[in-house]
Amino acid sequence: MIGQALTLSRLRKSYGDIVAVNETDLEIDAGEFVSIVGPSGSGKTSLLTLIAGFEPPSSGAIRIGDKDITYLPPYLRDIGMVFQKYALFPHLTVRQNIAFPLKMRRRAAKSTIAARVEEMLELVQLPQHGDRYPSQLSGGQQQRVAVARALVFDPPVILMDEPLGALDKKLREVMQIEIKRIQERLGATVIYVTHDQEEALTLSDRVAVMHQGSLQQIGTPAELYRRPSSAFVADFIGAMNFVPGILVGGEPGKHVIQVAEGIVLKATSGGRLAIPSKGSAVCLAIRPEHIKLAPRTGKAAGMLAGAVEASIFVGPTQIVLVRPEALPGIVLRVQMPADQIAGLERGALVAVAFDEAMLQAFPARERLAA
């Protein structure tokens, strides 16, 4: 049956001393689209390999619905998989490729299989291409066939390993919409691995961020963007500015942080980790759209003063890079509406104001680890 829940409990994989996947717990609901993102080497492909069953885990369990599949061989798992390079069988036609999983199962009669294959060709909008060989199709068409082949046997869970990695940007955007359309129509449970965080945010109900073999955070795209649980997630999802500072006061959840001589900011706690104590080093994170700039003439106490280093046109908004005088080595990335940039050309002197409600503090060591 298509679209079932997937549960990973304390799943772990190590090769000798190298831990590829740290004890991971993950619950994915039936019909949910979950992306796993992370930099290369973060363990996301290893996690997918374990779910697909190409390698056994060192410990932990995998369940689909109520069924434990931890040690089931891949061909008995009924998991549909789309590979990064599609892995369409080059010696079989498109039709034969799509029929392959049905023939393996011997559930249906020949005529049923043929009808089902036509149905899938229709779904991925390739009804005329059934008799071609994969090498006669474009990258995007091969990708559609790979999706059709992974879906045709109504798998409870579908895994996609960077399926759009080999396509160019324009085609990738078209295919994203296509995959989302098919997934929603069929109610399929999809686990989608990508290193492209933008793609993950576009497609997913929830996004899981992996780093160094561990699951850092899982949440809706908005949650990850607004309330990252660690400095790593804050940095990985969307653009983020980081400013180091020292905790000088405040109460739990509301901190007072000194970032430079005479400049003190208020910030909320970022994530789950409590900031230890007064005097400890922290790191402040703020999104480019939560910084305001104003032209200045002189310099006042308590004001973060800087100079515009560059102003970059990106369409509806403008990216302004500012180098604050009091924070050596830091360049702030500020995003503002294109109609508010008067007087902010290169070299202009500006006053920098943070939207303190959006300022989040993380323990400083965490930033270093990221």
Partner 1 sequence: MRQPQPFSRSLRLKGRPRARSMRSYAPAASWILIAPAMAILAIGFLYPLLRLIMLSLSAGPSATYGRLLREPLYATVLASSVVTAVSVTFACTVLGYPVALAMARLRKRAAALTTACVLIPLWTSVLIRSYAWIVLLQRNGLINSVLISEGLTQGPIKLLYTQGAVIVAMTHVLLPFAILPIFSTLRAVPNDYVRAAHSLGAGKIKAFFLVTLPLSLPGVFAGAILCFVLALGFYITPALVGGPESMMMASLIGQQTTVLLDWPFAAALSTVLLAITLLIVVAFRKSLSFSKGLSSVY
Site for partner 1, rule CB under 8 A: 52-54, 73-81, 83-91, 100-101, 104-105, 131-136, 149-150, 153
Compare residues 60 and 74 and give the one whose CB is closer to partner 1.
74
Helix (H) or strand (E) holding 174: helix 169-186
Which residue lies nearer to partner 1 by CB, 90 or 315? Answer: 90
Distance CA 369, CA 137 (A): 44
Cα-based angle 293, 297, 302 (whole degrees, multiple of 5): 65
For residue 45, the minimal CB distance to partner 1 (Å) is 12
Residue 164 phi/psi, 5-degree rounding, is -105, 5
Could you tell me the two tokens for 74?
A: 């891949």
The pairing of strands 59-64 and 6-15 is antiparallel
Instruction: In angstroms, give the least distance from the CB of 143 to partner 1.
Output: 12
When the beta carbons of 103 and 346 are compared against partner 1, the nearer one is 103
For partner 1, which is the closer residue by CB, 161 or 235?
A: 161
CB of 47 to partner 1, least distance (A): 15
CB contact at 8 A, 257 and 238:
no
CB of 104 to partner 1, least distance (A): 4
Nearest to 150 by CA among 139, 138, 137, 163: 163
Residue 172 beta carbon to partner 1: minimum distance, rounded to whole angstroms:
18
Q: Which is nearer to partner 1, 131 or 309 (CB)?
A: 131
Shortest CB 86 distance to partner 1, Å: 7
CB of 245 to partner 1, least distance (A): 48
Residue whose CB is less far from partner 1, 123 or 267: 123
Closest contact distance (angstroms) between CB of 156 and partner 1 is: 13
Residue number, 155 or 221, with CB nearest to partner 1: 155
* Tokens coding 47: 């996690």
Q: How far is the CB of 48 from partner 1 (least distance, A)?
A: 11
CB 57: neighbour CB atoms within 10 A? 24
In terms of CB distance, is 73 or 337 closer to partner 1? 73
* Closest separation in Å from C-beta 184 to partner 1: 23
Q: Is the dihedral of CA 63, 68, 70, 75 positive or negative?
A: negative
Q: Which two tokens stand for residue 305?
A: 């003063």
What CA–CA distances, in Å, run from 56 to 16, 127, 189? Answer: 14, 38, 22
Provide the phi-psi class of 324: left if phi over 0, else alpha when psi is between -120 and 50, else beta.
beta
Report the alpha-carbon distance of residue 276 to residue 280 in Å, rounded: 7
Place of tokens 């080059």: 90
Residue 272, number of CB atoms within 10 A of its CB = 9
Choose between 76 and 342: whose C-beta lies nearer to partner 1: 76
Residue number, 108 or 349, with CB nearest to partner 1: 108
- Long-range contacts: 247-255, Cβ < 8 Å, 24+? 247/275, 247/277, 247/278, 247/279, 247/280, 247/281, 247/282, 247/361, 248/278, 248/279, 249/278, 255/282, 255/361
